[in-house]
Amino acid sequence: MIYLDNAATTKTAPEVVEAMLPYFTEMYGNPSAIYSLGSAGKKAINEARRTIAGSIGAGPEEIYFTAGGTEADNWAVKAAAESYSEKGKHIITTKIEHHAVLHTCEYLEKRGYEVTYLDVDRDGIVDLEALKAAIRPDTILISVMFANNEIGSIEPIGEIGAIAKERGILFHTDAVQAFGQIPVNVDELHIDMLSASAHKLNGPKGIGMLYIRGGLKIRSFVHGGAQERNRRAGTENVPGIVGYAAAVQRAQRLMEEKGRRERELRDYLIDRIEKEIPYCRLNGHREKRLPGNVNFSFRFVEGESVLIMLDMKGICASSGSACTSGSLDPSHVLLALGLKHEEAHGSLRMTLSEENTKEEMDVVVEHLRQIVGRLRDMSPLYEDFLKSQKV
């Protein structure tokens, strides 16, 4: 098997599993309990909080554990909107956000909030002048993702943060794809709230976090017990939190080497596809791009058919976001880049890990070349296109 869907999820690293195991079998006490079996869990949570906070230049008291990136995004956007509604009801985000942000904004629109969805350029990058122009006296929140999950484009987060800070507007970023892959520092980038998730960086599924800058008046998301300083109730997922911290430590340790390896493989794969498969388009920015992201549109083919045929060869890839796969709608991200519906339908995302090899990339290109060729041979559109070329 060749696994090229690391933006959907990653393999939990053995050292992460090892760190988690004792919290299932030995130190299973409830962290809120007084006895030492419970306090062992509490101690582990505190240590994990320190590790994760340190990795983004935050304080431990600014980290709140959640059940993943989706919950963190929901919390940030809904709670910021509600907590600052006296100042205004206008939110700015982009057309290429993950549905965790987009659908939350749509939910708020039905409740009297106004949302501006910024366009992006052909490479998926937000225009800072358009952002400035969209700001109004009643703007209370800017939410722009750190890096896009489909096309890998990295947004100018520091510049956006500086604009938000200067205007006194809260700035949230969905860093689910960026955290653990590229350096993130909340102070340097003027970030007020940041969402992240463990399973994208070789940690367990079902655990994530929301960073909330100290002093911000953000209401709690889940009501109940006093966990997470009264802001996110529910017995803590101790093994998940411990595993998250182990994954963050691992990601920090490997970031440079892993990034270098993935970039090399990514550029090799992009180069070979561009040279060997005609009528394709690289989606996303060529340089300002996550180390492991490759996203192409192939004209005259259906991405879903390519995926099925790749799967028969033991290759796991994706046509975009895992959340929209299975849906017949073309990717909202690719449409926002200006692609036509049929181009967006013919897209393929391959996201690499440091475990992939150059030999695997060679196998992938070989199969892809044959698959795209075979599908085009069956396509009446391609036949018409070839005829029109001859005229």
Residue in the block written with tokens 């270098």: 260
Q: Which position's Cβ is nearest ligand PLP?
A: 69
* CA-based nearest residue to 168, from 190, 195, 184: 190
Number of residues that bind ligand PLP (CB under 6 A): 14
What angle, rounded to 10 degrees, do the helices at 99-109 and 69-83 form? Answer: 30
Which residues 6+ apart lie within 8 Å of 70 measured at CB? 100, 208
Site for ligand PLP in 318-337 (CB under 6 A): 322
Determine, following the binding rule CB under 6 A, whether residue 203 of this chain makes contact with ligand PLP. Answer: no
For the segment 133-192, give every residue that binds ligand PLP (CB under 6 A). Answer: 145, 149, 174, 176-177
In angstroms, the CA 290 to CA 154 distance is: 7
Q: Which of these ranges, 64-72, 211-219, 295-303, 332-340, lies near ligand PLP under the rule CB under 6 A? A: 64-72
The answer to whether residues 371 and 317 touch, using CB atoms and an 8 Å cutoff, is no
- How many CB atoms sit inside 10 A of residue 110's CB? 7
Smallest gap from Cβ 145 to ligand PLP, in A, equals 6
Determine whether 323 is an active site residue: yes
Using the minimum distance from each CB to ligand PLP, give the nearer residue, 233 or 322: 322
When binding is defined by CB under 6 A, the residue of 41, 69, 292, 320 that contacts ligand PLP is: 69
Cα gap 216→219, rounded to integer Å: 9
Shortest Cβ distance from residue 208 to ligand PLP (Å)?
5
Q: Which is nearer to ligand PLP, 31 or 208 (CB)?
A: 208
Task: Compare residues 152 and 161 and give the one whose CB is closer to ligand PLP.
Answer: 152
Rule CB under 6 A: is residue 98 a binding residue for ligand PLP?
yes
Q: For helices 238-276 and 36-55, what crossing angle results, to 10°?
A: 30
Taking the C-alpha atoms of residue 263 and residue 19, their distance in angstroms, rounded to an integer, is: 29
Stretch that binds ligand PLP, among 23-31, 45-53, 62-70, 307-315 (CB under 6 A): 62-70
Mask: binding to ligand PLP, 253-292, rule CB under 6 A, as x and -?
----------------------------------------
Single-letter code of the amino acid located at 388: S
Residue 357 has a CB neighbour count (10 Å cut-off) of: 13
Q: Which of 105, 280, 316, 323 is catalytic?
A: 323
Computed over its alpha carbons, how large is the radius of gyration of the chain? 22
Residues 326-385 that bind ligand PLP (CB under 6 A): none
Shortest Å, Cβ 24 to ligand PLP = 21
| Torsion angle of the four alpha carbons 22, 23, 29, 31, in this order, in degrees rounded to the nearest 10 | 140
> Is the distance from CB of 53 to CB of 192 less than 8 angstroms?
no
Catalytic annotation, residues: 323
Summarize as ranges the residues that interact with ligand PLP (CB under 6 A). 68-70, 73, 98, 100, 145, 149, 174, 176-177, 197, 208, 322
